[in-house]
């Protein structure tokens, strides 16, 4: 489109966040692009500036600025540089007609934000391959968490994968290296948690302990088992989240006094072994769920370089845990 125009919010749209409404209408736009359009006032609701989180309702008019259309992208054109396309394709560890699995590196954000220019969502054009549709994110990982992520290659696959995640018909195994060694060496962590609410509670991007019936509190459950320890100074852990809360694994390990090595937010009072990388040692090792074709699908992601180096330094051997799911029979 080369001109500004308005689109009405219809009854079928329901009451929905502005950013999600835009993504539905213009699926070729990444989340980062959408947030920038809203933040800079290029997208307005009934003539007024709005926030990405504001909800739009039937009858409202949304100002749409000029931006590349889906038709331009469907011809195989891409805004990515050859370097970025090569980079994002190097992350692929599995691909078929329905989904793509990548091994996300530590430090790469999944979606854009105010201070995030480069992110996975903005690189997905490079993973079209021979498909008309741009792959779609169906779940997330923290910026500093590495490991396996699944992308849907078409709308039907996106619906199937999203349903699997929402119904908890998905099994995810994470590997972490923590400070000290948990006692007992295996068990379950459960409790209430919530986002910190501002200056009094601290960083809004952090979770804190909460109690039952506290406003906005959510219940979280994590199974854990120790796969190895280095003189009780550090331990190699397998973590299985039974709920999917923000920062759940990081929060839970710090809560039991065994914070994940390299975590800048969730800490404990134990000393970190020297000579190790400062990066977060949390890796989404494996995932198992129903494939859009109806069969069971599982995939394992190789360790990132900084965790491989730590394994060598502490004497851990990943070959001792060939099946990531075996730790949780």
Q: Is 229 a catalytic residue?
A: no
Residue 247's nearest CA partner among 213, 215, 218, 286 is 218
The DSSP result for 114-167, as a single string, is TTB-SBGGGGGGGG-TT-SSPPEE-S---TT-EEEEEEESSHHHHHHHHHHHHT
**Residue 257: exposure state from Cβ atoms within 10 A (0-12, 13-18, ≥19):** middle
Q: Which of 263, 241, 243, 242 is nearest to 254 (CA)?
A: 263
Backbone angles phi, psi at 34, to 5 degrees: -60, -50
Residue 211 neighbours by CB under 8 Å, 6+ apart: 192, 217
Torsion-angle region of 126 (φ positive above 0: left; ψ -120 to 50: alpha; else: beta):
alpha
Residue 45: C-alpha distances to residues 64, 114, 192, 296 (Å) = 9, 21, 37, 44
Q: For residues 146 and 249, is the Cβ–Cβ distance under 8 A?
A: no
Q: Choose, from 142, 144, 229, 263, the residue flagged as catalytic.
A: 142
Q: Which two tokens stand for residue 245?
A: 């809360």
Those residues whose C-beta lies under 8 Å from the C-beta of residue 13, and which sit 6 or more positions away, are 21, 24, 56, 58
**Residues 31, 32, 36, 37: is their CA dihedral positive or negative?**
negative
Tell the residue number behind the tokens 């480069």, with chain if given: 118
The SS3 call for residue 23 is helix
Q: Which residues are catalytic?
A: 142
């Amino acid at each position: 489109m080369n001109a500004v125009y308005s689109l009405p919010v219809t009854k079928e749209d329901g009451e929905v966040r502005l950013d999600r409404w835009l993504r539905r209408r213009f699926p070729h736009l990444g989340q980062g692009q959408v947030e920038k359009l809203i933040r800079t006032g290029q997208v307005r609701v009934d003539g007024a500036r709005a926030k990405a989180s504001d909800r739009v309702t039937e009858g409202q008019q949304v100002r749409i600025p000029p931006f590349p259309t889906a038709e331009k992208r469907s011809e195989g054109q891409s805004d990515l540089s050859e370097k970025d396309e090569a980079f994002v394709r190097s992350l692929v560890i599995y691909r078929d007609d329905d989904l793509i699995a990548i091994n996300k590196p530590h430090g790469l954000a999944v979606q854009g934000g105010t201070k995030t220019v480069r992110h996975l969502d903005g690189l997905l054009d490079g993973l079209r391959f021979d498909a008309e549709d741009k792959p779609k994110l169906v779940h997330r990982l923290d910026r500093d968490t590495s490991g396996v992520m699944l992308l849907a290659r078409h709308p039907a696959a996106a619906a199937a994968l999203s349903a699997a995640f929402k119904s908890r018909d998905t099994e995810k195994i994470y590997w972490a290296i923590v400070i000290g060694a948990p006692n007992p060496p295996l068990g379950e962590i459960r409790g209430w948690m919530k986002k910190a609410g501002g200056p009094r509670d601290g960083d809004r991007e952090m979770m804190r302990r909460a109690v039952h019936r506290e406003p906005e509190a959510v219940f979280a459950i994590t199974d854990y088992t120790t796969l190895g320890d280095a003189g009780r100074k550090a331990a190699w852990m397998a973590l299985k989240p039974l709920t999917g809360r923000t920062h759940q694994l990081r929060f839970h390990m710090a809560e039991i006094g065994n914070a994940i090595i390299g975590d800048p937010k969730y800490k404990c009072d134990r000393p970190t072994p020297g000579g190790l990388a400062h990066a977060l040692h949390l890796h989404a090792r494996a995932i198992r769920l129903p494939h859009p074709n109806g069969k069971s699908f599982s995939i394992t992601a190789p360790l990132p370089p900084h965790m491989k180096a730590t394994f060598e330094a502490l004497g851990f051997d990943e070959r001792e845990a060939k099946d990531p799911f075996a730790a949780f029979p």
